Structures are given as structure tokens and as C-alpha cells.
């Protein structure tokens, strides 16, 4: 049996949103791999120490998957890669975070160490693949995954202004823009409502709640906090349009999930989103920080049943390509080589 050490932030027991690593680790275990995860320590320094201890303790006959982000966690990945090389362990950075290209530019020497000396780098879309290839480092694309059967498809025949937003409340995801979009819709006498799902990461939830009060839209927005996938999937049946307001992004699973559920998606055209959404085919793209373009897109869906129906069905067909039964073959091939 192949042993995999999976390095990521496994913090769901502390109220955090599950990472892609959490899902992938479970799925790989189902494929027969022995999975050792690190770390579920909430504080940063104990978490890093736990990651390093796990790598050293299980260094024999292992391959290490390292979830690699663009913020402070980048340094966790870097330090873990140092230990892997010291112990002669093959490691594979799994690239997440829409701002990784900026991190590579700012931390060129450290990025060179992390990515050039890896067994392979895994990007979830062509977006990060482009930047890794640009630097001459090895890379393959293995997309994020879902279980398509867990997302009941509801074909939207028409679009009501019932809007769903699912993401962590953090400034990079720009949740305040969703409040502004709601405000502009209501100004146009469109009886819109907005449901926002996700945990607070940096105080953005309080900012959104205060903005809703200032714009006098509190009665039309519902803040539900962190919900399980099953809870928000059930909730989605009462909504007809999904919006993604982020300023930076890679390949958000929430968009794939919304497509799988048959919800027309309107998203900012940033980072890797263009590798997910083909404008006017399986979703609508708008410029970042532009509530008027969001309003125009949502209004178009409300007034154009044919477009709503096409985006609903095309989105589902696109999401089916991310089903685990398809993607797992790519992981098995990579891990067999490692």
C-alpha cells in the first residue's frame, strides 16, 4: 500500500471551511492509499511543527502532497519541502490560491526551491499551469473534484432574483460587493434577495452587516454563517442565481458546485475563472468591483428564459467533468509514478 503524507490545514473541527485537501485525502484513502494528514493544530507554530514531525516520522516509503497557497501558508509549504529534500522524500506541491503568480514574483528564489525541486507540481487549472510552465518548472493539471451525484440538478426554466453567495467572508473574496449588487437591484425596483453562506475570516462579515444597514437592505439579505455542504446544497433549491464576487481566484469549487446544481453563475473575471466559465455558454463574466455589470447580468437572466435554461444545462454538463470517478485516474497515474 502506498503511503501519502498530506500537508494542509485540516481545521474543520475549529469551525473552518473544509479545504480541498480534506476532501482529496478522504477520496485517496478510498482508493486504498494510507493517508497521514497534518495538521489540525489551530495555532500556526504548533501546526508547522506538527507537519514537520509527521513528515519525519513517516519518511520511509512515502510521498508527500503539500497544499501550497499564496499567503503565509506558502512558507509552511517551503519549510516542509526543505525537510522532504533533506530526508530524500518525493514531494508534490498542490497549487491553490489565485494570487500564487504574485507570490512567485515576490518570492522568486524561494519559489524556485519549492517548485523546481519537486517531483511534480499539480495545478487545478490552466491558470496556474501557465505561470509554472513560464518559469520552466514541471507541472500537470488535475482539477478540483466533486461527487456529481451529491448535487441534485434542478434545471432553471426561468431566473428569479433570489441570489446565493457561498464563500468565506474575507476581503479577497470581496463579499461587500454582493451587498452593493443587491442594493442596486432594489433601486431598480427588482425585488431581489441575497443569501450569504460562509465563515468569517477577517472581520468582513461585520463589515457586510454594517453595509447592509447603511444601504437599507438588511431586510433582503440573510447571513447564515458556515453551513455544511449538504445544508447549503439543500438551500440552493430556493435560489436561482449564484454570484462570485472575488478579486483573486484560482478554480473555486463553489462555482463548480453551483453549476452542478443547475444555477446560472455570474462571476468576476479574475485569475483562473476564465478556465471555468465561458461567457454566455456556461456562465456570465463581469469585471471585478463592478456592481453595475453584475446587475446587468442578473437582469439579463431574469428577462431571458432561453439564456437561463442554456446556462443551467451547460453548467451541469461542464461540472460533470469534475466528478471523482473521472479525475481519480489522473491522481492514480501520478502517484504510481511517484
H or E stretch covering 62: strand 62-68
Are 196 and 165 contacting, i.e. CB atoms less than 8 angstroms apart?
A: yes
Residue 112 to residue 126: CA distance in whole angstroms: 20
- Same domain, yes or no, for 202 and 279? yes
Place of cell 481519480: 328
Residue 1 — very low, low, confident or very high, per pLDDT cuts 50/70/90?
Answer: low
Number of domains in the chain: 2
Residue 263 — very low, low, confident or very high, per pLDDT cuts 50/70/90?
Answer: very high
pLDDT on residue 96: 86
pLDDT on residue 223: 98
- Same domain, yes or no, for 161 and 215? yes
Structure-derived torsion over alpha carbons of residues 294, 298, 299, 303, reported in degrees to the nearest 10? 160
106-to-71, 73, 111, 113, 235 alpha-carbon distances in Å: 11, 15, 9, 14, 41
Classify residue 250 by its DSSP letter.
S
- Same domain, yes or no, for 152 and 177? yes
Give the pLDDT confidence of 16-48 residue by residue, as tens digits. 777 888 889 999 999 999 999 999 998 999 999
Place of cell 474543520: 12
Residue 140 to residue 123: CA distance in whole angstroms: 6
User: 71 — phi, psi (to 5°)?
Assistant: -90, -145
- Same domain, yes or no, for 60 and 80? yes
Is 90 exceeded by the pLDDT of residue 97?
no
Is 80 exceeded by the pLDDT of residue 335?
yes
- Give percent of the chain above pLDDT 90: 82
* Mean residue pLDDT across the chain: 94
- Same domain, yes or no, for 99 and 33? yes
Classify residue 266 by its DSSP letter.
E
- Give residues with Cβ within 8 angstroms of 266, minimum separation 6: 241, 242, 243, 244, 283, 284, 285, 286, 294, 297, 298, 301
- Same domain, yes or no, for 56 and 84? yes
Q: Quickly count: other Cβ atoms within 10 Å of residue 64's Cβ.
A: 29
pLDDT on residue 177: 98
Of the listed ranges 234-238, 240-244, 249-253, 277-281, the least confidently predicted one is: 249-253
Give the pLDDT confidence of 74-91 residue by residue, as tens digits. 999 999 999 999 999 999
H or E stretch covering 305: helix 305-319
Helix/strand/coil for 280 = coil
Highest mean pLDDT among 41-45, 270-274, 295-299: 295-299
Beta-sheet pairing, 90-95 with 221-225:
unpaired
Point out which residues pair with 146 in neighbouring strands: 323
Point out which residues pair with 242 in neighbouring strands: 164, 265
Transcribe 136-204 into DSSP letters.
Answer: T---EE----B-GGGS-----SS--SEEEEES-B-GGG-HHHHHHHHHHHHHTT---EEEEE--BSSSH
- Same domain, yes or no, for 10 and 141? yes
- Same domain, yes or no, for 141 and 187? no
What value does the mean pLDDT take over residues 260-284? 95
Give the pLDDT confidence of 119-170 residue by residue, as tens digits. 999 998 888 899 899 999 999 999 989 999 999 999 999 999 999 999 999 9
Residue 45 to residue 29: CA distance in whole angstroms: 27
Are 241 and 182 contacting, i.e. CB atoms less than 8 angstroms apart?
A: no
Are 132 and 95 contacting, i.e. CB atoms less than 8 angstroms apart?
A: yes
Is 90 exceeded by the pLDDT of residue 70?
no
- Same domain, yes or no, for 114 and 152? no
Residue 91 belongs to a domain with what CATH number?
3.40.50.2000
- Same domain, yes or no, for 139 and 155? no
Closest CA to 181 of 301, 293, 302, 311: 293
H or E stretch covering 77: helix 73-86
- Same domain, yes or no, for 119 and 192? no
- Same domain, yes or no, for 43 and 156? no
Q: At what angle do helices 324-337 and 20-30 cross, to 10 degrees?
A: 80
- Give percent of the chain above pLDDT 70: 100
Q: Which domain holds residue 186?
A: 148-321
Classify residue 251 by its DSSP letter.
-
Give the pLDDT confidence of 213-243 residue by residue, as tens digits. 999 999 999 999 999 889 999 999 999 999 9
What's the predicted TM-score (pTM) here? 0.83
Amino acid at each position: 500500500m502506498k503511503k501519502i503524507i498530506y500537508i494542509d490545514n485540516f481545521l474543520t473541527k475549529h469551525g473552518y471551511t473544509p479545504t480541498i485537501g480534506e476532501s482529496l485525502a478522504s477520496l485517496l484513502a478510498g482508493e486504498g492509499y494510507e493517508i497521514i494528514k497534518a495538521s489540525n493544530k489551530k495555532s500556526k507554530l504548533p501546526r508547522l511543527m506538527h507537519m514537520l514531525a509527521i513528515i519525519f516520522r513517516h519518511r520511509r516509503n512515502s510521498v508527500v502532497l503539500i497544499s501550497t497557497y499564496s499567503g503565509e501558508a506558502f512558507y509552511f509549504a517551503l519549510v516542509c519541502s526543505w525537510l522532504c529534500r533533506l530526508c530524500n522524500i518525493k514531494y508534490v506541491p498542490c497549487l491553490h490560491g489565485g494570487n500564487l503568480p504574485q507570490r512567485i514574483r515576490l518570492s522568486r528564489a524561494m519559489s524556485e526551491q519549492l517548485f523546481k525541486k519537486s517531483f511534480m507540481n499539480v495545478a487545478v487549472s490552466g491558470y496556474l499551469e501557465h505561470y509554472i510552465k513560464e518559469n520552466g518548472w514541471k507541472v500537470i493539471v488535475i482539477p478540483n473534484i466533486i461527487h456529481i451525484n451529491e448535487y441534485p440538478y434542478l434545471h432553471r426554466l426561468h431566473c428569479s432574483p433570489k441570489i446565493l453567495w457561498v464563500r468565506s467572508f474575507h476581503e479577497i473574496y470581496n463579499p461587500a460587493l454582493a451587498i452593493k449588487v443587491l442594493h442596486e437591484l432594489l433601486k431598480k425596483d427588482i425585488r431581489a434577495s441575497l443569501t450569504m453562506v460562509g465563515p468569517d475570516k477577517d472581520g468582513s462579515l461585520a463589515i457586510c452587516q454594517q453595509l447592509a444597514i447603511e444601504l437599507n437592505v438588511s431586510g433582503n439579505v440573510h447571513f447564515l454563517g458556515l453551513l455544511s455542504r449538504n445544508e447549503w446544497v439543500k438551500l440552493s433549491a430556493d435560489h436561482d442565481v449564484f454570484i462570485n464576487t472575488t478579486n483573486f481566484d484560482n478554480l473555486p469549487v463553489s462555482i463548480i458546485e453551483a453549476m452542478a446544481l443547475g444555477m446560472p453563475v455570474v462571476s468576476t473575471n479574475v485569475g483562473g475563472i476564465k478556465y471555468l466559465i465561458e461567457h454566455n455558454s456556461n456562465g456570465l463574466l463581469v469585471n471585478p468591483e463592478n456592481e453595475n455589470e453584475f446587475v446587468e447580468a442578473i437582469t439579463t437572466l431574469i428577462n431571458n428564459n432561453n439564456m437561463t435554461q442554456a446556462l443551467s444545462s451547460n453548467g451541469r454538463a461542464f461540472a460533470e467533468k469534475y466528478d471523482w470517478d473521472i479525475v481519480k485516474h489522473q491522481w492514480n497515474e501520478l502517484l504510481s509514478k511517484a
